[in-house]
Structure 1
Amino acid sequence: MMNIQRTIDTGSGPATAAGKPVSSPIADDKEMLRAARDLTKDISEARAGIYWTDMLGSAVVGYGSLAAAILLENTALAVFMGIVAALSLYRALLFIHEISHLHKNALPGFRTTWNVLVGMVMLTPSYMYEGVHTLHHARTRYGTAEDPEYLPLALMKPWSLPAFVLIALLAPPALLIRFGILVPLGAIFPPIRKLVWERASALAINPDFRRRPPEGDLKRRVFWQEALGMVWSWALIGSIFVLGWKPLLVALAVFSLTAVLNQLRTLVAHLWENEGEPMTVTAQYLDSVNVPPPGFLAEVWAPVGLRYHALHHLLPSMPYHSLPEAHRRLAKHLGTGSTFDGANHGGMMALVWRIARSTMRVR
């Protein structure tokens, strides 16, 4: 498994029957795990002022820029405002990741407000991540066939990478069809409801993932979020008879750009070099990616703490605003050349090239 196993091959060591060198899984770096726990205890609380200001500000800028993109007659300026809208709404949307990790008693009202202002408007309510993303962090699921958010992209064919990114362009119209057509059909025909829930109710990239029925409080939230999503999708479709096609088409174009940005970020969030075997926490960390400062661009394409994705896998409940400080402390304590340093990478293009080169070796 490429970087996920260390190969022991001295020329005189044991070998398999096929004559290949013996490989051993990466053992957990206990010093790193202890440091991650001990050095960050005092910064583990979510700060309401940061969450609310960041999320609301991103949404306001995003929707204001979207309105400008729709209303402006100057094409170049409209395109520029559309890009600003896509980037701002992308940041606002990524709070769904934080919501999936927040303790139920933390930040009262934040999840509901986010759903009303962002999740429902973009037809990506929080239930699409809640109860799904945590499976990606499960100790024995990461990188296996039971992980909804993992594909061994580095071990797939070269054409799989552009296909993986470009398919995201279809996400907004697909969500419109899901909520506007398939949800009401599912209320009438149970087999459709079952199919839509299992295959199209989670932000997953593993095509073999099947979502289990919702339980407890999530079941109630799913009902209301799907109902509101259906009504909103009908309103969007109906808007063409009142406002014409332009507003909806511009909004879909902006949301498609947002979806592609997220897919590009997903592409470089991991090295995707695991072939399905369970991994140690340290192996999971090294298969994940940090893009720390000084570069600024990573904060644009991986906002809300996601430039520290590997560190997030060590500290999944750490609030996003504390990840930069946590990274500084651990880097200083563990030093250059440590296991911790092994998950730090230079930027998106270098990561894309690394994964692309790996696919070119696949036969």
Structure 2
Amino acid sequence: MPSQSHSTRAEDKQMLRQAALLTRDLHRPSPARYWSDCFGSAAVGYAALAGAILSHSAALTVALVVLSILALYRAVLFIHEITHLDHRLLPGFRAAWNIGVGAPLLLPSFLYEGIHAVHHSRRHYGTERDPEYLPLAHMRPWTLPLFTLAALAMPFLLLLRFGILAPLSIFIPPLRRVLVERFSALEVNPAYHRPAPEGAFARRWRLQEIAASMAAIAILASTATGLVPLRAFVFYCVVVAGVAVLNQTRTLVAHLWENDGAELSLTDQYRDSTNVPPAFPGVLWAPVGLRFHALHHLVPRLPYHALPEAHRRLAGALPVGSAYGDANYSSLSTLLNRLARATMRRR
């Protein structure tokens, strides 16, 4: 990596100093916010899913499915908070999330814990070692719809991974190695190979995987035997696929995806990430603070509920023309259009 210029290093330090000073009182998570928001959203999502399964009105069914997707999407995205939390400040939250959200939706937190830390590494961000980065802006136009629509297969891939392959891998060690290395991460970069877990994380992984496998086996078995109506299985898959497509769309605009694999300075990493400050409809497609994704890369330990206030302080305190304003955009459509135009230039 070429050495950074003096001006770049100074800009990095200034950004970090300002962010640290202006947000130092915002780092403590609110247990009431986390528990009520996450599990309230999950309760609404599951109730709406049950209502859709039982409904005999087409219009009401569609409305309930949309509500279920939005509410469960919000609950699922607390997986991102779990990767950054100091769990001593929120005891029991990770375990409760995995029981109430991760296992039933086949998205245990080990799929994201660990790999997300690599994405936040200053040396790995945007390089081929980053599991959550692809240079999408340098790819062909057809990669964007393919990237988004591939998420429709998520419920079937999760059922296969946890309901069939995980139990088989107990008896087939080579399958287990492949499963851990290639099919145990919510990643963007298909070239990423995940290392085997170790220590306390390996023990959490094992418990979470058992819970998700039990849920997947129960879903498959109860559907196959008729204990659960096929309609319920279909609606479950529709909701999980909807959550995945929403998240994939959000992922498309979380970064500009313009890095070609070189290591970037902190400021350039920030500029390659995005904030979309308007609250609506951002709280629907990028909930749990993820509409402030660039700010999150600057201060990753801030709890999600503190990000709007942190943005207000930084935007007000930093001078016009500072690097902070370079990552702020007005809407989802603005970013999607920018990315689409970038790929069009590379046909």
Report the Cα distance in structure 1 between the residues aligned to 2:14 and 2:288, rounded to whole angstroms.
Answer: 27
Structure 2 counterpart SS, 1:73: coil
Q: How far did 1:33 drift? A: 1.7
Q: Which amino acid aligns with 1:216?
A: G
Alignment match, 1:336: 320
Report the Cα distance in structure 2 between the residues aligned to 1:126 and 1:64, rounded to whole angstroms.
Answer: 23
| CA deviation string 1:284-329 (max 9, x = no partner) | 0000000002x51111100000000000000001100111111011
Alignment match, 1:265: 250
Q: Which amino acid aligns with 1:250?
A: F
* 1:132 and 2:143 correspond: no
Contact 1:27–1:283 (Cα < 8 Å) also in 2:
no
Q: Which amino acid aligns with 1:125?
A: P
Alignment match, 1:141: 124
* 1:291 and 2:272 correspond: no
Q: Which amino acid aligns with 2:319?
A: G
* 1:274 and 2:259 correspond: yes
Contact 1:26–1:282 (Cα < 8 Å) also in 2:
no
Q: Compute the TM-score of the two structures, normalised by the length of structure 2.
A: 0.96
Report the Cα distance in structure 2 between the residues aligned to 1:335 and 1:256, rounded to whole angstroms.
Answer: 43
Report the Cα distance in structure 2 between the residues aligned to 1:296 and 1:95, rounded to whole angstroms.
Answer: 19
Q: Aligned to 1:215, which of 187, 198, 219? A: 198
Identity of aligned residues (%): 51
Q: How far did 1:222 drift? A: 1.2
Q: Which amino acid aligns with 1:136?
A: H
Change in Cα spacing, 1:25 to 1:59, as seen in structure 2 (3 Å) is farther
Q: Provide structure 1 residue ranges, at least 5 long, that are not aligned to the other structure.
A: 1-22
Aligned ranges 1:225-240 → 2 under 5 Å: 225-240=208-223
Q: How far did 1:112 drift? A: 0.4
Alignment match, 1:11: none
Q: How far did 1:337 drift? A: 2.6
Q: How far did 1:106 drift? A: 2.0
Q: How far did 1:27 drift? A: 1.9
Q: How far did 1:103 drift? A: 1.3
Aligned ranges 1:1-363 → 2 under 5 Å: 27-28=8-9, 29=11, 30-240=13-223, 241-293=226-278, 295-363=279-347
Q: How far did 1:26 drift? A: 8.5
Q: Which amino acid aligns with 2:236?
A: A
Contact 1:335–1:341 (Cα < 8 Å) also in 2:
no
| CA deviation string 1:90-146 (max 9, x = no partner) | 000000000000113120000000000000111000111111101000010000000
Contact 1:144–1:277 (Cα < 8 Å) also in 2:
yes
Q: Compute the TM-score of the two structures, normalised by the length of structure 1.
A: 0.92
Report the Cα distance in structure 2 between the residues aligned to 1:162 and 1:24, rounded to whole angstroms.
Answer: 38
Contact 1:239–1:248 (Cα < 8 Å) also in 2:
no
Q: How far did 1:234 drift? A: 1.1
Which of 1 and 2 has greater Rg? 1
Contact 2:102–2:212 (Cα < 8 Å) also in 1:
no
Report the Cα distance in structure 1 between the residues aligned to 2:116 and 2:69, rounded to whole angstroms.
Answer: 23
Structure 2 counterpart SS, 1:239: helix
Q: How far did 1:171 drift? A: 0.6
Contact 1:32–1:334 (Cα < 8 Å) also in 2:
no
Structure 2 counterpart SS, 1:304: coil
Report the Cα distance in structure 2 between the residues aligned to 1:227 and 1:55, rounded to whole angstroms.
Answer: 23
Report the Cα distance in structure 2 between the residues aligned to 1:302 and 1:176, rounded to whole angstroms.
Answer: 26
Q: How far did 1:149 drift? A: 0.2
Number of aligned residue pairs: 340
RMSD: 1.4
| CA deviation string 1:175-208 (max 9, x = no partner) | 0010011001111111111111111101101000
Contact 1:26–1:280 (Cα < 8 Å) also in 2:
no
Contact 1:269–1:288 (Cα < 8 Å) also in 2:
yes
Q: How far did 1:31 drift? A: 2.1
Change in Cα spacing, 1:261 to 1:25, as seen in structure 2 (3 Å) is farther
